[in-house]
Amino acid sequence: MKIVFATNNLNKLKEVQAMVPSHITLLSLKDIGCFEDVPETQETIEGNAIQKAEYIKTNYGYDCFADDTGLEVDALNGAPGVYSARYAGPQRNADDNTNKLLTELNNNTNRQAQFKTVVALQLNDKLHTFTGICKGDITTDKKGQGGFGYDPVFQPENYTQTFAEITLEEKNKIGHRGKAVQQLVAFLESY
């Protein structure tokens, strides 16, 4: 089976490819000749995932899946949420976003947060969604060299390390994207 993963984020592509069985071949947007920015104009994480999957199906004709992820911080009323990638501005810079988050939480003792991923699958003209959530806390400073985005400041529940300090395999097992993709893979295997 070949299916498009509607992302330009090579880190996400690497994470997800590691979770998908070898008989499912992931095609990137580059593989199908899609070089434009896929729209993400919805007000919810689920809305953005659906919008991206539908855009690829409508404009390129491929069955595909897309994800959208947000970091929801309790003390910030769920922010940055759907705006996680652009939290510090349109340049979508992970360091800028993380620094802004740490500044906004500077003296706040409530560090609870959760990562939420929604995967939207367009398959044979039907839409399916899968949601993964990973709860944890925001650290007071960056730790670790792995991962991407907010990983250096997100410490999952029952862990003493951040996502940037644990292996990709461990992150895929306990993380938000991993949980959503596991549901996606189980669905595709039973399809």
Q: What is the CA radius of gyration of the chain?
A: 16
Instruction: Report long-range pairs for 129-133 (Cβ below 8 Å, ≥24 apart).
Output: 129/46, 129/49, 129/50, 130/180, 130/181, 130/183, 130/184, 130/187, 131/46, 131/179, 131/180, 131/183, 132/175, 132/176, 132/177, 132/178, 132/179, 132/180, 132/181, 132/182, 132/183, 133/176, 133/179
CA–CA separation, 132 vs 144, rounded Å?
Answer: 23
Look up residue 26 and give its two tokens: 């992931």
Dihedral sign computed on CA atoms, order 93, 149, 127, 190: positive
Amino acid code (one letter) for 159: Y
Q: Which of 68, 95, 141, 151 is catalytic?
A: 68
E strand segments, 29-164: 64-73, 80-81, 112-123, 126-138, 154-156
- Asked if 74 is an active-site residue, the reply is no
Q: Which residues are catalytic?
A: 68
